[in-house]
A and B are shown apart, each in its own frame.
Chain A
Amino acid sequence: MSPRNFRNQFVVLREVTKKYGGLTALKKISFEIGEGEIFGYIGPNGAGKTTTMKILVGLLTDFEGEVYIGGFQVPKQKSEVHKLLGYLPQSVGFQEWRTVDHALKTFGKLSGLTETEIEKRITEVLDLLALSEVRHKKIAQLSGGMTQKVGLGQAILHNPKLLILDEPLNGLDPLSRYQFKEVLLKLSKGGTTILFSSHILSDVQDVADRIGIINRGQIKQVGTLNELKEHLAEQRTVEVLLTYATDKWREFQNIKHVKSVEQPSVGRILVNIEKGSDPDDVMNDLAQLIVKQKIRIRGINLLSPSLDDIYQKYVQEGESI
């Protein structure tokens, strides 16, 4: 995704700490989310993602630190905050007797929509989520994925300025996940600020403007995917793919600023560059050596860390503490 600029900070968390008895679930976490931004929140189970979201939506009120949404303080100005947000919890539950239509009507009324607005919005939301066919069905009879979509429906029904989604893609098939992500992008373009958590890193990568990594109740890193890559890429690696097996690759070790060279599989050479050195200089020297040594290659690439690599790094870092 190309980076977008967000001037106004719509969500602000400052030094937020939450304890459950003797267990500290969040340790002085701070981050901000710009208006209209999609913020991907990732971390392993029990890292503190759901706790953060519950604090934001006002379900958990007993915490230290400061939280603001749209300029209103949480939980002090909860009623103002509640008018601004839509929330999809990790496990969404509806009363068994409710139909999709009835659930949306009730939540629409509770969110302050008029009868006319409710009718209009229900039709729009069900069309958007491809749920029109099940409008009058009981939610209890729907599949897990469909129920999750109804959950998103109730969250976006009143056109909230902030959408908080806790693991919204769980239990969805690939097509539904794609549709879900499209909906998020569409809402964001319309100005909705979105905070969502997920374990599926590729999904976060697809839609998030910025990503926050949390582990053991602490924010490890916040930034755009490129910023996170830059931060991680202190040690860069160049991959050289040989056309045929040869020992000449050992010569790469003599290039200036090359820390080490390894061959993880036949014909695939990884050249690790020293920290702080310019990878372009090393690649230039490498290319000259390849020509000089008449080594036949299929390709030469500067490897960029994936979100998986970044995630693993920060999570493992936490595990080793």
Chain B
Amino acid sequence: MKLPLLFTDELRGFYKSKLMLILWIGLPIIALLFRFAQTTSTGQDIPFTVISTIVISSLAGTLSSVMLAVSIINEKNRNVYTLFLIRPLKRRELLLAKFLSVYICVTIASLLAVFVGMTTDYITTGMLSTKLIDNTAQSLVTSLSMLAVSCAAGVLIGVASPSVMVGAILVIYGGNQISVIPLMPTILNITYATLFTTTTTLLTCSLLLIAAIGLFERKQF
């Protein structure tokens, strides 16, 4: 079982390549900028916590799927995987390590952005209502679900695409649209939306990852 080793290795890679830092600092900053732009343009205040979750689900989703797709395509084309695949490990462990490390990185970035949002709301309004906290928690579940689907789609696109250009196009046209799936129970106003969102996410992620692993297992390097 080499997954824990590959996972920590990937995390170290993100840390070393400054990607982690950019995400963790960048996402809360972008959320703050959105808040500022929203206040000055309409004069009406939407709770910052809500803005944060919107930023997370749209921006972080795209970022994570692009990060995964591009890194897999690059590493595939530069024969990086060859040195891993000739060692006693399972091919699927490579992909799962990548998926988990990026997902955990963007999850932390998302939580940071929401934390910044809640702190800002608390400072500006002097309180955090129970309703706001409930809504935020629900939005966060949806956002993190969408992120998970985006990451899984990024892995599949990375494995299937022959070039970075094709990968980027597929992520923009396909990956982002698939990530809307976890949002459907909320849009359709289904009872127990959160439960349905979680179940849909698990199913979609599993299907996307199984497809990616299947392709990767058959790939002749």
Contacts and interface: CB of A to CB of B under 8 A. Distances in A.
Interface residues of B, number: 21
Contacts of B78: 91, 93
B9 to A, nearest CB: 5
Which one of A57, A79, A92, A106 has the highest number of Cβ atoms from chain B below 10 Å of its Cβ?
A106
Contact of B83 (A92, A109, A112): A92
A76 to B, nearest CB: 14
Nearest to B221: A59
Interface stretch (A39-47, A82-90, A194-202, A207-215): A82-90
Contacts of B75: 93, 95
Interface in B1-29: 2, 5, 9, 12-13, 16-17
A57 B86 CA distance: 6
Contact of A107 (B79, B87, B221): B87
Contacts of B89: 110
Interface in B107-121: none
B88 interface: yes
A302 interface: no
Q: Which 7 A-B pairs have the closest CB atoms?
A: A93-B78, A97-B16, A93-B79, A93-B80, A110-B87, A97-B17, A82-B88
Given A60-B220, A61-B220, A93-B78, A83 B13 contact: no
A54 B87 contact: no
B2 A110 contact: yes
A170 to B, nearest CB: 14
Contact of A110 (B13, B79, B84): B84
A58 B16 contact: no
B5 A59 contact: no
A54 B9 CA distance: 26
Nearest to B89: A110
Interface in A84-126: 85, 87, 89, 91-98, 102, 106-107, 109-112
Contacts of A58: 85-86
B135 interface: no
Nearest to A102: B12
Given A93-B75, A107-B87, A59 B82 contact: yes
Interface size on A, as a range, is 20 to 34
Contacts of A107: 83, 87
Contacts of A111: 87-88
Nearest to A20: B220
21 contacts: A54-B221, A58-B86, A59-B85, A59-B86, A59-B220, A59-B221, A62-B220, A87-B82, A87-B83, A92-B79, A93-B75, A93-B79, A93-B83, A94-B80, A94-B83, A95-B13, A102-B12, A106-B5, A109-B5, A110-B5, A111-B87
B82 A89 contact: yes
A148 interface: no
A85 B86 contact: yes
Nearest to B219: A59
Contacts of A92: 79, 82-83
A95 B17 CA distance: 10
A54 to B, nearest CB: 7
B5 to A, nearest CB: 6
Which one of B75, B82, B89, B220 has the highest number of Cβ atoms from chain A below 10 Å of its Cβ?
B82
A224 interface: no
A97 B86 contact: no
A112 B2 CA distance: 10
A294 B169 CA distance: 85
A58 B85 CA distance: 8
A37 B83 CA distance: 23
A70 to B, nearest CB: 14
Nearest to B2: A110
B80 A95 contact: yes
Nearest to A58: B86
Contact of B79 (A85, A89, A102): A89
A106 B5 CA distance: 8
